[in-house]
Amino acid sequence: PAAATADWFGEYRDYHAITTHLRELAALAPDRVALEAVGNSLENRPVWALRIGGSAADATPMMIDGTLHAREWIAAMVTTCVADRLVRDYDRDPAIRAFVDHTRLWVVPVANPDGYQYAWSTDRYWRKNRRGRHGVDLNRNFAVAFGGAGSSRNERNETYRGAYAFSEPETSALRDLAKREAIALHVDFHSYGQIVLYPWAYTDKPAKDRDRLAALGDRMTSAMVAAHQTSYRLSSGVDFYPAAGTMTDWMYGEAGAMSYTIELRPKWPGGLGGFVLPREQIRPTCDEGLAAVLALRGAAERSEAPGR
């Protein structure tokens, strides 16, 4: 029932509840939705990816993910909510039907299952995965500028990058999915700061496709603002803060996707409390996330394909 569905997004959900919800979505529309484990975490939890749409030969391969950083719970809810809306509103919303009919979207709400569960059970502000005692920052473990400024070699540091690029099974699973599906459009959802970021994060040298990245990013930013008049802004990654080995830089630089990091609510700065977004804001933030995904797909269709 619709009321129960709406209520599901009235509070935060752990890894198991999200997994169950993804299974339910796959069962609702088996002709256009499928759930796949694309890898396993260090502690052997499946990294789940929900595929929506994609039957058309010309479907654009797209991917969204959340919770590379375990404490960013709103990212898990927003990605799950985007999937929920695309599945449930297919028959009643022409914009959603058009999106699903012409897109093959992969949704990975919990890219860091062990860290996410640890943030539920033990330490609400845990960021990294569960490698050893201190964990690896998965968003510094990708193979673009690995080891550069904005990442740390000290495993106690919050931005510890790991022993080598793709040392972690969670980042390897995302890499393998992106390569296998030849992903063309990508959003990595994080919190927080209300900002849309495009490559590069590791250098202030402009990306080859900078103008197009900025133009598509501008469409996403405008769509997010329009949903609830929340102030989102657009920036290059490095202008927000320098970071090396990020997923977005790798998705753009190595996988050839138009790739973005979206920092969801609340506004920056807000200390650790910013990671604990009040649950009344889950649904409106979901609206903003869906608006961004639809806008990126629509804007990309209206501009030329990237030179891969």
**Each residue of 201-217: pLDDT tens digit?**
777 888 889 899 999 99
DSSP letter at 111 equals S
Q: Mean pLDDT throughout 56-67? A: 94
pLDDT of residue 130: 96
Strands 103-108 and 33-40: unpaired
Who has greater pLDDT, 303 or 152? 152
For residue 193, pLDDT over 60 is answered with yes
Provide the percentage of residues in the chain whose pLDDT is more than 70: 93
**What is the C-alpha to C-alpha distance for residues 93 and 97, in angstroms, rounded to an integer?**
6
Structure tokens at 302: 């209206």
- The SS3 of residue 74 is helix
Closest CA to 221 of 253, 263, 251, 170: 263
Who has greater pLDDT, 146 or 61? 61
- The answer to whether the predicted template modeling score (pTM) of the entire model surpasses 0.85 is yes
pLDDT of residue 271: 86
Across the beta sheet with 185-193, the strand order is 33-40, 46-53, 103-108, 60-66, 185-193, 258-267, 195-198, 233-236
pLDDT of residue 250: 94
Listed range (66-80, 178-192, 263-277) with the worst mean pLDDT: 263-277
Which DSSP string do the residues of 273-288 spell out, in sequence order?
GGGS--GGGHHHHHHH
For residue 3, pLDDT over 60 is answered with no
Q: What are phi and psi of 8, to 5 degrees?
A: -60, -35
For residue 306, pLDDT over 70 is answered with no
Which residues are catalytic, by number? 263
pLDDT of residue 185: 97
pLDDT of residue 241: 75
Listed range (83-92, 119-128, 162-171) with the worst mean pLDDT: 162-171
pLDDT of residue 307: 45
Mean pLDDT of the chain: 91
Q: Of all helices (H) and strands (E), which one includes residue 293?
A: helix 282-302
pLDDT of residue 1: 45
pLDDT of residue 147: 59
**Each residue of 278-304: pLDDT tens digit?**
999 999 999 999 999 999 998 887 765
**What is the C-alpha to C-alpha distance for residues 164 and 24, in angstroms, rounded to an integer?**
37
**Each residue of 15-59: pLDDT tens digit?**
999 999 999 999 999 999 999 999 999 999 999 999 999 878 889
Q: Of all helices (H) and strands (E), which one includes residue 64?
A: strand 60-66
Q: How far are the Cα atoms of 8, 22, 108, 277 from residue 3, in angstroms, in the given order?
A: 9, 18, 25, 22
Structure tokens at 169: 């099974």
Assess if CATH 3.30.43.10 describes domain 2-302. no
**Each residue of 215-243: pLDDT tens digit?**
999 999 999 999 999 999 998 776 787 78
pLDDT of residue 308: 39
Structure tokens at 27: 């069962």
